[in-house]
Structure 1
Amino acid sequence: MRRIDIKIVNRTLVIVLSVLAIHACAPKLTVMDADPNIPEQFDQPQDSTNTADVQWRNYFTDPNLVALIDTALANNQELNIFMQEIQIARNEVREKKGELLPTVNVGAGAGIDKVGRYTRNGALEATTDIEPGKEFPEPLPDFVVGAATTWEVDIWRKLRNAKKSAFTRYLASVEGRNFMVTNLIAEISNSYYELLALDNQLALVQQNIQIQSDALEIVRLQKQASRVTELAVRRFEAQVLDTRSLQYDIQQKIVETENEINFLLGRYPQPIPRNAALFESFVPDVVKTGVPSQLLENRPDIRQAGLDLEAAKLDIQVAKARFYPSLGITAGVGYQAFNPSHLLSTPESLAFSLTGDLIAPLVNRNAIKAMYYSANSAQIQAVYNYERTILNAYIEVANLMSKSSNLQSSYDLRAQQVEALNQSIEISNFLFRSARADYMEVLLTQREALDSRFDLIETKMEQLHTWINIYKALGGGWE
C-alpha cells in the first residue's frame, strides 16, 4: 500500500512539472552575436612589436612628469570615486553569491492566546463535558525557541547566472578603472608638455620684447637725426606694446594649465616643477603600433565592452529562467511549550517542519516578458557598443599614425621657415640702418619671425600630444 502511494505521488509530481514547464516556456528571441573582425594590418604592414607593452614609467622618462603621475594615481578624486564603484560591484557579487545559499534565522518568542469557547478551536481545547479542571489553560501561553531556514533550489541556473553576470560586471568595472588610468596619464602628460611649450613661448616673447625695445631706441635716435618720421617711432612702439600684451596672455595660460594639472592631482594650486629647457631637445621614441588584433587585448575600453556584452547575455538567461517553475524549501526546528519549565523537554517539546513549494507564473506574465525583452534589447545594445568600440579604436590609431607622419614633415618645414626668417631679420635691420629698407619691412619681418617661432613650438607640442595619444590609443599606460 505504501509503495502504491509513492508511485501516485511521483506521477503527480511529474504531471505537475510537465504542465508547469510547458506553460512556462519563454518566448523565442533573435539572439544577435558580435562581429569582432578587425583588419589584419593598419595602412601598411607591421610586426607584432607594440609600444603598448611598455610600462608608462619607461615610456615617460621625465622625472618631474613621473612624479606628477604618481601623485595623480593616488589622489585623483575621479579615480577614487571610480574605485568605490568597483567596491560596489564587488559587493553585488557577494550578494548574488549569498542568494545561492540557504537563509538561516534563529530566534525566540513568547505569546499568549485566548480563543472563544464556542468556536472550533475552543471546542477542541475543551473536553466533551466542558467541565472545569479538564480543559486547556485559559489563556494559553506559548514559548518557542528555534531556527528556520529557507532555500531556493537553483534548478534552472537562474541564481548562478545572476552571480556570474555580477562578477563579469565587476571585471568590467575594473577595466573601466584601467581605461580611466590610461586617460588620466595621457591627460596629465599632455598638460605637462603644453606647460613646457607655454614656458618656451613666454621666453620667446620676452626675448622679442628686448629685441623690439632695442629697435625702438634705435628708431627714436634716427628720428632725432631726422632719418625717420614720428610715424615710424609710433609703429615700433605699438609693436612693443602688442608683444608685451601677448606676454600676459601666455602667463594666464600658464596659470590655468598649472591649475588643470593640480586639479588632476587632487590638490590646490601650487607651482608645477618642470624643466622648460628639455622641451626643444626632447625627441620622442619611435612608436610601434603592432597589429590591430592586439587592440582587443590591450585597450581597456574594448575589454570592458566585451565583458559588458558577456554579462548582458547572462542577463537574458536569468530573465528566461523566470518563466520556469521555482522550487523553494522551508524548514524549521526548535522547542515549543506552553510552560517554560517544559520548553527544553525532549522529545515532548521538540517541533520541526519541512515544506517544499513549486511555483510557476500562470496568469499575467507581462512583467516577466517585459524583463525578458528588455534584457534582449540590452544585449543587442552591448553588441553594437562592442563593435563600435573596436571600430573607434582602429580609426583612432590610424588617424594618429597619419598625424604623426604629417606633423614630422610640417615640423621640418617650419624649422626651415624659422631659420629663413631669422636671417631675414638680420638683413632687414641692416638695410634699415643703411636707409635701404622701409621700417614697415622691418616690422613685418619681425612679426613673421615671431609667428613662425610660435608655430614651430605649437607644432612640437602637437607632436608630443600625438606621441602621448597614440600610446593611449594602443592601450598603454594602465598595466
Structure 2
Amino acid sequence: MKFRYKHSFLIGFAILSLSACVTKKYNRPQVTSEGLYRDNNTSDTATMADIPWKSLFSDTTLQSLIQEGINQNLDLKQAIERIKISEATLRQSRAAFLPSLQGDLSVTDAKQSAAALNFPPGININLETQTYRAQLSTAWEADIWGKLSSAKRAAYATLIQSDAAKRAVQTQLIATIANSYYTLLALDKQLAITQETIKIRRKDVETVKALKEGAVVNGAAVVQSEANLYAAEVSLPDLKRSIKEAENALSVVLAKAPGAINRTTIDQQVPYSNLQTGISAQLLQNRPDVIAAEYGFRSAFENTNVAKTYFYPALTLTASGGLSSLQLKNFFDNSIFYNLVGGITQPIFAKGQNKARLKTAQAQQQQAFYTFQQTLLTGGQEVSNALYAYQTAVEKEEARAKQIASLTKAVDFTKELLRYSSATNYTDVLTSEQSLLTAQLSGINDKLQKLQSVVNLYRALGGGWK
C-alpha cells in the first residue's frame, strides 16, 4: 500500500515537472511606474483616489445624479453583463478538469438486401433486425502539459479584467456626470450674466437717447448703444441651445429620455482642495484601466502557454458501457457491454495550425504588454494635465477678479464722463462694457475649469470605485 502511494506521488511529481517545462509561471512585466507625474515628486502615499465619491462632492443634488447614473447607466450595465460572460467562461474552464458524461438511448432498425448477401437458394434468413441500446459514455483528458490549468488561469485573468473594466466605466461615469453638471451650472451663470447685461444695456439705450435730446451726444451714439444691446441679445439663443443640449446629453448618461436636469448654482460649489496624488506607482492598484490592462496581458500570457501545449501529445481516456439487445423483451438479460480506451495523440502534421496558433498568441501577448505600458503612461499624463489645469485656474482666478473689478469701474467712469464731458466718446463706453462682459464670462469658465480639473484628477488617480 505504501509503495502504491509512493508510486502515485512520483508519477504526479513527474507530470508536474513536465508541465513546468512547457508552460511558464506568470510574473508582472517590467514597466516604468515611477516619475509619471511631471514636476510632482512627492513621496507621500496619501491619495485622494481613496476618498469615496460622496465625500468628494458636497452638492447633494450632484450626489443624487451620480447615484442615479450608477444605478441606471447603460454602459455600466453592459460592463456588468460582460462580467457575467467572463464568470461563465471561468466556470467552464474549471469544469474542463472533470470527465465528460453523456447518455444515449437508441433504437436501430436495419434491413439487409438478400441479393447482396448472396445466400444459396432455399435458405430463409431474417434480413431485418432491431437493436435496442442504452449507454453512458465518458471522456477525460489528462492535464499533463498544463493546457487546462493555463486556460483556467487565462479565464480568471479575463474575469478580473472585465471587473476592472467595469470599475473603469464607473469612474469615467462619475467624472462625466460631475463635469456635465458643472458645465450646466456654468451655462446657467453665463445666461444669467448675459440677461443682466441686456437689462443694463436697455437702460443705456434710454440714457443715450436722453443725452441726445440734451445735445450731449449725437445720433451715432444712439445707434451704437442699440447695436451693443443687440450684440448681447444675439448670444442668448446659443446659450439656451447649449443648455438644452447639455441637459439632453446628461439625460442620456442617466439612461432616461432627454429632459430638464435638477441642479443648484455654480456659486454654491466649493471645489475639493486637498489634492493629494500619492506616488505614481499607486496607479497600478488604484486606476481600474491600468489594472484591466495588466490582467489583459496576464490572460494573453496564459493563452501563449496554452498554445505551446498543442505541440505535445495529449493523453485521453474514454469509456462507454450500457445495455444492448436485439429484442426489447430480453433487454435486461445478458445484454451488458462496455469498452475502455486509453490513447496518446501526438500531432505530426497539422497544416501549420499549431505554429500559427503559437505565433498569434505571442503577438497578442506583446500587444497586451504595449497596451499595459500605454495605459500606465496615459494615466500619468492625465494626472499631470489635471494638476496643471487646477493650478492654472487658481492662478487665473485672482487675476480675473481684479480684472472684473477694474472693468466695472471703467464702465462706471466712462458712463459718468459721457454725461458731463464732451471729450468722451460712446465708443469708450462700448469697449469697456464689452470687455467687462467678456471678463465675466471668462471668470465663469475659470471656475468651471477649477471644478472640472478636480474631477479629472480624481478620475485620473483611479478614484470613484472604492
Same fold (TM over 0.5): yes
Q: Work out whether residues 193 and 464 of structure 1, in 8 Å CA contact, stay in contact via their aligned partners in 2.
A: yes
Matched, 1:284 2:275: no
Distance (Å, rounded) in 1 between the aligned partners of 2:107 and 2:263: 75
Q: Work out whether residues 197 and 458 of structure 1, in 8 Å CA contact, stay in contact via their aligned partners in 2.
A: yes
Corresponding position of 1:456: 443
How far off its partner does 1:356 sit?
1.5
List per-residue Cα deviations over 1:316-366 (Å, max 9, x = no partner).
Answer: 110000111112222111111111121112xx2111111112111112451
Letter aligned with residue 358 of structure 1: I
Aligned with 1:113: secondary structure?
strand
TM-score (norm: length of structure 2)? 0.89
Distance (Å, rounded) in 2 between the aligned partners of 1:268 and 1:112: 63
Q: Work out whether residues 33 and 383 of structure 1, in 8 Å CA contact, stay in contact via their aligned partners in 2.
A: no
Letter aligned with residue 206 of structure 1: Q
How far off its partner does 1:114 sit?
4.0
Aligned with 1:269: secondary structure?
coil
Letter aligned with residue 200 of structure 1: K
Letter aligned with residue 298 of structure 1: N
Matched, 1:109 2:87: no
How far off its partner does 1:447 sit?
0.6
How far off its partner does 1:413 sit?
0.7
Letter aligned with residue 461 of structure 1: L
Distance (Å, rounded) in 1 between the aligned partners of 2:229 and 2:435: 14
Corresponding position of 1:17: none
Corresponding position of 1:351: 337
Matched, 1:444 2:423: no
Matched, 1:395 2:381: yes
Q: Work out whether residues 407 and 436 of structure 2, in 8 Å CA contact, stay in contact via their aligned partners in 1.
A: yes
Letter aligned with residue 355 of structure 1: V
Match of 1:373 among 351, 359, 364: 359
Match of 1:60 among 37, 45, 57: 57
Matched, 1:330 2:327: no
Identity of aligned residues (%): 28
Match of 1:203 among 168, 192, 210: 192
Matched, 1:38 2:38: no
Distance (Å, rounded) in 2 between the aligned partners of 1:151 and 1:283: 62
Distance (Å, rounded) in 2 between the aligned partners of 1:360 and 1:63: 66
* Match runs of 1:141-290 below 5 Å: 141-276=130-265, 278-279=267-268, 282-290=270-278
Unpaired segments ≥5 residues, structure 1: 1-20
Match of 2:96 among 72, 96, 99: 99
Q: Work out whether residues 34 and 387 of structure 1, in 8 Å CA contact, stay in contact via their aligned partners in 2.
A: no
How far off its partner does 1:424 sit?
1.1
How far off its partner does 1:44 sit?
3.5
Match of 2:297 among 287, 309, 318: 309
Distance (Å, rounded) in 2 between the aligned partners of 1:403 and 1:307: 31
How far off its partner does 1:293 sit?
1.2
List per-residue Cα deviations over 1:141-192 (Å, max 9, x = no partner).
Answer: 2111121112222221212211221121111011111101111110110010
Compared with structure 1, are the counterparts of its residues 114 and 248 closer, same or farther at alpha carbon in structure 2 (3 Å cutoff)? closer
Q: Work out whether residues 410 and 459 of structure 1, in 8 Å CA contact, stay in contact via their aligned partners in 2.
A: yes
How far off its partner does 1:278 sit?
3.3
TM-score (norm: length of structure 1)? 0.87
Match of 2:71 among 71, 74, 95: 74
Distance (Å, rounded) in 1 between the aligned partners of 2:408 and 2:270: 22
Distance (Å, rounded) in 1 between the aligned partners of 2:465 and 2:121: 85
Matched, 1:468 2:455: yes
Letter aligned with residue 37 of structure 1: T
Distance (Å, rounded) in 1 between the aligned partners of 2:211 and 2:413: 18
Aligned with 1:144: secondary structure?
strand
How far off its partner does 1:138 sit?
3.8
Letter aligned with residue 331 of structure 1: A
Q: Work out whether residues 46 and 289 of structure 1, in 8 Å CA contact, stay in contact via their aligned partners in 2.
A: no
Letter aligned with residue 194 of structure 1: T
Distance (Å, rounded) in 2 between the aligned partners of 1:327 and 1:365: 21
How far off its partner does 1:400 sit?
1.8
Compared with structure 1, are the counterparts of its residues 428 and 147 closer, same or farther at alpha carbon in structure 2 (3 Å cutoff)? same
Q: Number of matched residues?
A: 443
Aligned with 1:143: secondary structure?
strand
Letter aligned with residue 31 of structure 2: P
Q: Work out whether residues 216 and 419 of structure 2, in 8 Å CA contact, stay in contact via their aligned partners in 1.
A: no
Distance (Å, rounded) in 1 between the aligned partners of 2:310 and 2:404: 73
Distance (Å, rounded) in 2 between the aligned partners of 1:112 and 1:401: 81
Q: Work out whether residues 143 and 336 of structure 1, in 8 Å CA contact, stay in contact via their aligned partners in 2.
A: yes
Compared with structure 1, are the counterparts of its residues 210 and 449 closer, same or farther at alpha carbon in structure 2 (3 Å cutoff)? same
Compared with structure 1, are the counterparts of its residues 142 and 277 closer, same or farther at alpha carbon in structure 2 (3 Å cutoff)? closer
Compared with structure 1, are the counterparts of its residues 226 and 65 closer, same or farther at alpha carbon in structure 2 (3 Å cutoff)? same
Corresponding position of 1:430: 416
List per-residue Cα deviations over 1:40-63 (Å, max 9, x = no partner).
Answer: 584232411110000011111211
List per-residue Cα deviations over 1:390-449 (Å, max 9, x = no partner).
Answer: 111112212222222122111111111111111111111111111252111111111101
List per-residue Cα deviations over 1:178-231 (Å, max 9, x = no partner).
Answer: 101111110110010011111111111111111111111010011112221111
How far off its partner does 1:82 sit?
2.2
Aligned with 1:334: secondary structure?
strand
Letter aligned with residue 141 of structure 2: E
How far off its partner does 1:98 sit?
2.9
Kindly name which structure, 1 or 2, has the bigger radius of gyration based on alpha carbons: 1
How far off its partner does 1:116 sit?
6.1
Distance (Å, rounded) in 2 between the aligned partners of 1:357 and 1:437: 105
Letter aligned with residue 226 of structure 1: A
Q: Work out whether residues 34 and 384 of structure 1, in 8 Å CA contact, stay in contact via their aligned partners in 2.
A: no
Aligned with 1:100: secondary structure?
coil
Letter aligned with residue 435 of structure 2: E
Q: Work out whether residues 36 and 380 of structure 2, in 8 Å CA contact, stay in contact via their aligned partners in 1.
A: no
Distance (Å, rounded) in 2 between the aligned partners of 1:469 and 1:99: 44
Letter aligned with residue 196 of structure 2: Q
Q: Work out whether residues 110 and 141 of structure 1, in 8 Å CA contact, stay in contact via their aligned partners in 2.
A: yes
Compared with structure 1, are the counterparts of its residues 41 and 89 closer, same or farther at alpha carbon in structure 2 (3 Å cutoff)? closer
